Amino acid sequence: MRKNDLNASINQDENKLGVSRMQRRLERIYLGGGKTKIEKQHSRGKLTARERIDYLIDDDSYFFEIGAFAGYGMYKEHGGAPAGGVVMGLGYVSSKMCMIIANDATVKAGAWFPITGKKNLRAQEIALENNIPLIYLVDSAGVYLPLQDEIFPDKEHFGRIFRNNAVISSKGIPQIAAIMGSCVAGGAYLPIMSDEALIVEGNGSIFLAGPYLVKAAIGETVDKQTLGGAVTQSSISGVTDYIMKDDEECLNTIKDLVGKMGTNKRAGFDRIEAIAPRLAAEELYSNFPSESTKPYDSHKILDSIVDAGSITEYKKTYGQTIICAYARIEGWSVGIVMNNRKVVKNAKGEMQFGGVIYSDSADKATRFILNCNQKKIPLVFLQDVTGFMVGTRSEHGGIIKDGAKMVNAVSNSTVPKFTVVMGNSYGAGNYAMCGKAYDPRMIVAWPTAKIAVMGGTQAAKVITQIKVSALKNKDKALNKKAEKELFDSIKERYDEQTTSYYAAARLWVDAIIDPVDTRSFIATGIEMANHGKVKKFNVGVMQT
């Protein structure tokens, strides 16, 4: 077997194993609070959060889940919070793309953990930016009290959700809420600040204070349904708009309400008939290396994602550590900014390391981003970046200035941006290649992604050197063995914090996806963004 074939085989095996591990973890997450809790939900005549979404979306619709790994590995001392106790994502309801948010009552009775609040805010952000209707399927016991200090008072905490309710409605974006279980305390504002509210008889209830708190506060004894059940809130208070006999009738009514909505003018991104990629999507497994330090042919990765024959590469022989190209993905016109992981030689004959951003590549990317904004072409960033080039020559050449221009262009870009973290995403390279802080409409990672200030080995070396020097200054020098143990422990902890799962748990990325789904993710994202508007971009401000 030739070396290239052997490497491809190793890559394929390792990448498929990585995807398999991801899918097994997702299967556990999909169980929410576990089979016993699911059975209890069914015994009360209730569908689970995922069953409600499956019932609600059109038969031929996908459901692109966002934040499935939210809370992964977190809150262990509280029993965990699979998917953050809420399921959310994009799907078609009555032929209209909607953002759907469903509390998972099998996870701590649907209580809100800090990550739950962050996840809901992300859903609202996506809906607001892309003019997508919101559907809330409410079934929650309210804020998880042991962690209330991490979710209640700050700007991006629980209260921001209701503020967003008001802003979203003011923008003319419809919000429909269904009270399908408990809805208490501050959480009661969410459905009632939506434009229309449904409530399921027998299971649904909504009130600012439940029976126990009412008894404690004013001494009144009252049962849950009399206080805020479906009949009370529909026939007496008029708080809710529709009373439903069960989950199915409730979801059918939502379908009917959505089906009668009008449509808005689209953004107008260019699309033609799609052409299949030159290489099959499955070839991503063999063409992307299993080791993050190995170079590879980035053009082969593109050939499995973009429509065959659609690539027009910008400044091909200049700034070669970044690939900039116009292309099409499922027919949609896109501008691609991608780190080139090959070691290349510049026009001066100097070797440049793949995956590193040099002054010339930053300059090229900046100008390309401006062009895409001028032409109203959505941007796709494919990240595998170890950072900007360092050292005397780079500093004398003005790498900071050129890097700042690229960051400026990304920051001020008004066309939709989509980011896929394939491999490394280190330091300022993460920023320049449109990391989470730079408002991509959506950002996803492959299982191979690593997001951090720097790689684990480099970080461990730096931290170890600092600690060893500090101990020497205190006359507590370490021997070689102790120094290695210190290095290994730091590297192990740092490596764990750079994984795609660590990032997804904290919503630094919206999802971890199978590499073969990259093409459909980007197409879905542009389809979503086409519902919104694009602000005019003042190219002249930055054309320097």
Please report the DSSP string for 480-533 in residue order. Answer: HHHHHHHHHHHHHHHHHHTBHHHHHHTTSSSEE--GGGHHHHHHHHHHHHTTS-
Q: Is residue 34 pLDDT above 60, yes or no? A: yes
The model's confidence at residue 31, banded by pLDDT at 50, 70 and 90, is: very high
| pLDDT, mean of residues 300-310 | 98
- Angle (CA) 502-379-20 rounded to 5° is 35
Q: Is residue 4 pLDDT above 80, yes or no? A: no
Question: d(Cα 337, Cα 473) in Å, to the nearest integer?
Answer: 47
| pLDDT, mean of residues 140-152 | 87
The model's confidence at residue 153, banded by pLDDT at 50, 70 and 90, is: confident
Q: Which has more pLDDT, 494 or 415?
A: 415
Burial of 357 (0-12, 13-18, 19+ CB in 10 A): buried
What pLDDT, on a 0 to 100 scale, did the predictor assign at position 156? 86
What pLDDT, on a 0 to 100 scale, did the predictor assign at position 388? 87
Eight-class DSSP state of 232:
I
Q: Is residue 537 pLDDT above 50, yes or no? A: yes
Q: Is residue 87 pLDDT above 60, yes or no? A: yes
Question: d(Cα 212, Cα 200) in Å, to the nearest integer?
Answer: 22
The model's confidence at residue 543, banded by pLDDT at 50, 70 and 90, is: very low
Tokens 């209707």 sit at which residue? 133
Q: Exposure string (b/e) for 174-198, b if CB count within 10 Å is 16 or more?
A: bbbbbbbbbbbbebbbbbbbbbbbb
Q: Is residue 415 pLDDT above 90, yes or no? A: yes
Residues near 538 by beta carbon (within 8 Å), at least 6 away in sequence: none
Token digits of residue 100: 């759907």
Tokens 């070839």 sit at which residue? 283
The model's confidence at residue 338, banded by pLDDT at 50, 70 and 90, is: very high
Lowest-confidence range among 82-96, 179-193, 480-494?
Answer: 480-494
Identify the helix (H) or strand (E) that includes residue 298.
helix 298-303
Q: Is residue 355 pLDDT above 60, yes or no? A: yes
Q: Is residue 500 pLDDT above 70, yes or no? A: yes
Burial of 2 (0-12, 13-18, 19+ CB in 10 A): exposed
**What number of other Cβ atoms are within 10 A of residue 243's Cβ?**
18
Q: Which has more pLDDT, 476 or 165?
A: 165
Q: Is residue 492 pLDDT above 90, yes or no? A: no
What pLDDT, on a 0 to 100 scale, did the predictor assign at position 544? 44
Whole-Å CA distances, 486 to 269, 312, 457, 466: 53, 50, 12, 11
Burial of 137 (0-12, 13-18, 19+ CB in 10 A): buried
Radius of gyration of the chain (CA): 26
3-class DSSP state of 140: strand
Torsion 278-451-508-84 (CA) sign: positive
Eight-class DSSP state of 141:
-
Q: Which has more pLDDT, 370 or 466?
A: 370
Question: d(Cα 533, Cα 416) in Å, to the nearest integer?
Answer: 9
Q: Is residue 485 pLDDT above 80, yes or no? A: no
What pLDDT, on a 0 to 100 scale, did the predictor assign at position 126? 97
Question: d(Cα 364, Cα 415) in Å, to the nearest integer?
Answer: 18
Residues near 216 by beta carbon (within 8 Å), at least 6 away in sequence: none
Q: Which has more pLDDT, 495 or 73?
A: 73
Q: Is residue 123 pLDDT above 90, yes or no? A: yes
Lowest-confidence range among 35-39, 83-87, 143-147?
Answer: 143-147
% pLDDT > 90, the chain: 73
CB 138 within 8 A of CB 188: no
| pLDDT, mean of residues 321-342 | 97
Whole-Å CA distances, 308 to 154, 177, 273, 303, 328: 49, 43, 12, 7, 8
Does pTM surpass 0.75?
yes
Question: d(Cα 250, Cα 243) in Å, to the nearest integer?
Answer: 8
Q: Is residue 394 pLDDT above 80, yes or no? A: no
Q: Is residue 143 pLDDT above 70, yes or no? A: yes
Q: Is residue 541 pLDDT above 60, yes or no? A: no
What pLDDT, on a 0 to 100 scale, did the predictor assign at position 313? 98
Q: What is the pLDDT of residues 260-295, one digit of tens each?
A: 999 889 999 999 999 999 999 999 999 999 888 889
CA atoms in the 13 A half-sphere facing the CB of 524: 23
Q: Exposure string (b/e) for 424-433, b if CB count within 10 Å is 16 or more?
A: bbbbbbbbbb
% pLDDT > 70, the chain: 96
Q: Are strands 387-388 and 379-385 parallel, antiparallel or unpaired?
A: unpaired
Q: At what angle are helices 49-56 and 247-259 packed, to 10 degrees?
A: 40
- Highest averaged pLDDT of the listed ranges 291-295, 334-338, 428-432: 334-338
What pLDDT, on a 0 to 100 scale, did the predictor assign at position 540? 56
Token digits of residue 312: 């027009």
What pLDDT, on a 0 to 100 scale, did the predictor assign at position 482? 74
What pLDDT, on a 0 to 100 scale, did the predictor assign at position 144? 87
The model's confidence at residue 470, banded by pLDDT at 50, 70 and 90, is: confident
| pLDDT, mean of residues 252-258 | 98
